[in-house]
C-alpha cells in the first residue's frame, strides 16, 4: 500500500461506527494498554529509509488489520509534522482471524510491527517520522486509541530483527502462492454490488478466509463468504457505497487476501469472469 504524506486520518466517528456490533466501546485508551515506538532499519539499497511502527499491547489485548472484519476498528494514520517524506509504503504482516461472540475479526494480538519504507523528498537529508496512529484495541471491551510518534530516522542503523521478521511474515504474492487465475464477476444488488471472485490456486492450508477490498474509499465491503470447489477458491461479498454519489468498480484495483493455516496470499486485481 502506497500513500502520500497528506493522507488524512479517519475521524473519531469512524472508530465508533467500526465498533458497531462489537463488545462495548469504552472511553479513551489507557496509555498502559497500547504503546507505540518507531524502530530504525537504516537505509535500503534503493536509497530509501526503512523503519517500523511497533505497537505493544498488554497481554490478551488485540488490534486490527487494515480490513478488520465484521466488527473490528480499521487503523488510520496522520503524518502531520513529518519532514522530508515523499512517498511512504506500509507492509502489513499476515494477520490472524479471531472469532469473538460470533463475530469474525482480523488482526494481531499482543504486538504489531508495521514496516514503513520512506522515499525522501530530498535525498541525503534527514527524515523525521512524526504523526498519529488511530486504532482500536479490544479485550473484554473495545476502545479507540490514538498513539503519537515523533522520531528522526537513523540512516546509519543496521538490520533490525523485528522489522526483518515482520517483512518475512507478509502474505505471499499470487506468483509465490501458485495462483493460476483470479476472475471476478459483478452483479447489482438492492443496495450495492455483489462481487464473486473465483481463484484457481492451491490451498493455503486449513480453513481459508478470503477478504476482498474494493480499492476505493467510495465503497466498503461486507463480510466475505469463502468456500472451496476443488482447486478453485470461491469468495463472495457485497460492496456498498459510502455515500449517495455514483461509483464504478475497477477490477484491476480489487485486492483479494486469502488467509490460511499455512500462509496468506495477496492477490492484486482480477479479470472479468
Question: Taking Cα atoms as reference points, which of 183, 208, 213 lies closest to residue 261?
Answer: 208
CA dihedral (207, 167, 52, 161) positive or negative = positive
In sequence order, which residues have a C-beta less than 8 Å from that of residue 49 and are 6 or more positions away? 41, 42, 43, 117, 118, 120, 127, 153, 155
Are residues 25 and 131 located together in one domain of the fold? yes
Dist. CA 264–CA 257, nearest whole Å: 7
Which CATH number does the domain housing residue 116 bear? 2.60.40.1250
Are residues 266 and 132 located together in one domain of the fold? no
Number of folded domains that form the chain: 2
Residue 9 above 80 pLDDT?
no
What pLDDT is recorded for position 99? 83
How would you label 105-116 residue by residue, b for 16+ Cβ within 10 Å and e otherwise?
Answer: bbbbbeebbbbb
Residue 239 above 90 pLDDT?
yes
Which of 168, 191, 208 is where one domain is finished? 168
Are residues 161 and 32 located together in one domain of the fold? yes
> Would you state the torsion angle of the CA atoms of residues 184, 226, 108, 260, taken in this order, to the nearest 10 degrees?
-100
pLDDT range class, residue 31, cuts 50, 70, 90: low
More confident residue, 78 or 3: 78
Are residues 201 and 261 located together in one domain of the fold? yes
253 vs 168, 198, 268, CA distance in Å? 24, 16, 7
Dist. CA 96–CA 105, nearest whole Å: 8
What domain range includes position 213?
172-272
Q: How far is CA 79 from the centre of its chain?
A: 17
- DSSP secondary-structure letter at 14? H
Dist. CA 136–CA 63, nearest whole Å: 6
Global pTM reads 0.85
pLDDT range class, residue 46, cuts 50, 70, 90: very high
Question: Taking Cα atoms as reference points, which of 217, 222, 273, 214 lies closest to residue 249?
Answer: 214
Amino acid at each position: 500500500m502506497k500513500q502520500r504524506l497528506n493522507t488524512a486520518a479517519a475521524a473519531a466517528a469512524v472508530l465508533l461506527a467500526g465498533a458497531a456490533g462489537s463488545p462495548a466501546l469504552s472511553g479513551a485508551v489507557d496509555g498502559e494498554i497500547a504503546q507505540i515506538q518507531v524502530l530504525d532499519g537504516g537505509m535500503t539499497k534503493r536509497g530509501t529509509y526503512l523503519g517500523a511502527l511497533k505497537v505493544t499491547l498488554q497481554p490478551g489485548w488485540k488490534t486490527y488489520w487494515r480490513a478488520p472484519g465484521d466488527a473490528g476498528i480499521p487503523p488510520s494514520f496522520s503524518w502531520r509534522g513529518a519532514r522530508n517524506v515523499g512517498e511512504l509504503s506500509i507492509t502489513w504482516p499476515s494477520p490472524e482471524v479471531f472469532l469473538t461472540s460470533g463475530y469474525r475479526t482480523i488482526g494481531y494480538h499482543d504486538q504489531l510491527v508495521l514496516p514503513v519504507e520512506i522515499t525522501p523528498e530530498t535525498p541525503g537529508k534527514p527524515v523525521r517520522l512524526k504523526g498519529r496512529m488511530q486504532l482500536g484495541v479490544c479485550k473484554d471491551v473495545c476502545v479507540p486509541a490514538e498513539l503519537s510518534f515523533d522520531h528522526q530516522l537513523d540512516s546509519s542503523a543496521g538490520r533490525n530483527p523485528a522489522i526483518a521478521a515482520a517483512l518475512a511474515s507478509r502474505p505471499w504474492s499470487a506468483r509465490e502462492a501458485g495462483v493460476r487465475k483470479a476472475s471476478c464477476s459483478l452483479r447489482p444488488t438492492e443496495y450495492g454490488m455483489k462481487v464473486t471472485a473465483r481463484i484457481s490456486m492451491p490451498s493455503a492450508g486449513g480453513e481459508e478466509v478470503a477478504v476482498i477490498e474494493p480499492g476505493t474509499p467510495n465503497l466498503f465491503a461486507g463480510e466475505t463468504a469463502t468456500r472451496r470447489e476443488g482447486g478453485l477458491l470461491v469468495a463472495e461479498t457485497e460492496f456498498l457505497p459510502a455515500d449517495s454519489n455514483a461509483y464504478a468498480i475497477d477490477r484491476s484495483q480489487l485486492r483479494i487476501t486469502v488467509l490460511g493455516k499455512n500462509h496468506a496470499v495477496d492477490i492484486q486485481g482480477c479479470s472479468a469472469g
